[in-house]
Amino acid sequence: MKPSIRIEAVVLASALLATSAAAQGDTGFLRGQGHFTAAYSYTNDSYDQFWLGNDLVSPPQVGKVERETASLYVAYGLTDAIDLVVNANYVEAETSGTDPIEDQDDLQDLYLGAKWRVWSHGDLESAFLVLLAPSIKLPMTDYEDNDVTAIGDDQVDLRMRLIAHYRYQGYFWSIESGYDRRNGPPHDEIPVNLTLGGTFGNVTVMPFYSTFESLGGIDIGEGTFPATEEEASRVGLAAYARIGTNFGVTGMVRTTLDGMNTGDANAFSLGLVFNY
């Protein structure tokens, strides 16, 4: 791969990493053998309305719920066709409601995964690729999972994702879907994530759409929070600005379009990225 092409691929591969807590899906870009990316990000996610089943409500007992997440993401190119990925999160959650709901803050989940290009067709000008992205999610602490301010679901997830990716010069689209096996009260999920992107000078702009469907569960109030049937559809815009060859900054805004047993949340994220 020519140096300029490799740098562009690394830049695009890095562009969504520092906003990984926003869960907008992955792309088909890889780092290349021996190259790595480290990204640190801050994400703020908040809502003052949530779907109780399919009904949008705003009870004063809950008030506004706000979550702040610090994420560390590292990816390494094991070969030109395989990346190894590690992501860890620390989450703080609080609410302004009239009920005495306890604030939460703790290490949340660790994600270990890989991204493997299994098929490709094209050249340096344009290409279509198919990738497999298996991963496992592991709770890092015994955090609270059954409250309005719960920071996670506190169980192991086994995930298998398929990514279809097309790029043409500085533009691309990626669609990611698969199956998440959830080993605990939550039912399994099927996610779909679509990301578009274009590079203009040193800036890459990426609108995205994400949705996930739970394969069963209960409504809020009928049992524990991890067992709820949670679904959501979201849209957002992410951007990556390259500062020199090795550094960059990222930003993201996101809003929720529709959901079930989840918050009508808006989010923003800022991050720093180092590439080598």
38-87: per-residue pLDDT in tens? 999 999 999 999 999 999 999 999 999 999 999 999 999 999 999 999 99
Residues 6 or more apart whose CB falls under 8 angstroms from that of 79 comprise: 33
Cβ neighbour number for residue 61 with a 10 Å cutoff: 11
Question: Which H or E run contains 10?
Answer: helix 3-14
pTM: 0.92
Q: What is the pLDDT of residues 182-240, one digit of tens each?
A: 998 999 999 999 999 998 988 999 999 999 999 999 998 898 899 999 999 999 999 99
With CA atoms as reference, report the closest residue to 27 among 192, 199, 174. 174
> How many residues does the structure list for the chain?
276
CA dist., res. 252 & res. 265, Å (int): 14
CA dist., res. 91 & res. 70, Å (int): 7
What three-state secondary structure class fits 3? helix
- Say what the pLDDT of residue 22 is: 44
Domain span at residue 186 reads: 3-275
Q: What is the CATH number of the domain that holds 170?
A: 2.40.160.40
Instruction: Report whether 47 contacts 57 (CB < 8 A).
Output: no
Helices then strands, counting H and E runs in the chain, come out as 1, 14
What Cα–Cα distance (Å) separates residue 43 from each residue in 51, 60, 109? Answer: 22, 25, 15
User: Domain total for the chain?
Assistant: 1
